[in-house]
């Protein structure tokens, strides 16, 4: 997957940053914030195009090489996931 960059000069001072734009595209921003940006993009051709590009970036299918790489990560193993969950749980419950 290849992320596309936008020319900085074309982005207005009231336009959301790249991080926010990708957050909207990935569906990880709070609904209110995402709606605010969607309305902003709907009113501005350039921002609409940038949001469209971000959505395309997240819609790309995983290519074979990426899939192979992901399958080799330790984090896909259930034992690793259980150990990580235990470490996270422990880190939250320890008194400081």
Report the sign of the C-alpha dihedral through residues 61, 17, 27, 75, in that order.
Answer: positive
pTM of the model: 0.51
- DSSP for the chain reads --PPPPPGGGS-TTSPPHHHHHHHHHT-S-HHHHHHHHHHHHT-HHHHHHHHHHHHHHHPPPPHHHHHHHHTSGGGSHHHHHHHHHHHHHHHHS--
Structure tokens at 3: 């992320």
Q: What is the pLDDT along the chain (96 residues), one digit of tens a residue?
A: 555 555 544 667 778 788 888 898 888 989 999 999 889 888 888 888 989 988 888 776 778 888 899 899 999 999 999 999 999 998 888 666
Q: What are the residue ranges spanned by the domains of the chain?
A: 14-60, 63-96
């Amino acid at each position: 997957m290849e992320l596309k960059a936008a020319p900085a000069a074309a982005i207005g001072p009231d336009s959301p940053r790249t991080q926010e734009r990708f957050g909207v595209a990935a569906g990880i921003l709070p609904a209110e914030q995402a709606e605010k940006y969607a309305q902003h993009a709907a009113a501005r051709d350039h921002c609409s195009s940038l949001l469209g590009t971000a959505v395309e970036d997240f819609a790309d299918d995983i290519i074979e090489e990426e899939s192979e790489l992901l399958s080799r990560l330790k984090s896909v193993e259930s034992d690793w996931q259980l150990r990580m969950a235990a470490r996270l749980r422990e880190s939250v419950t320890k008194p400081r």
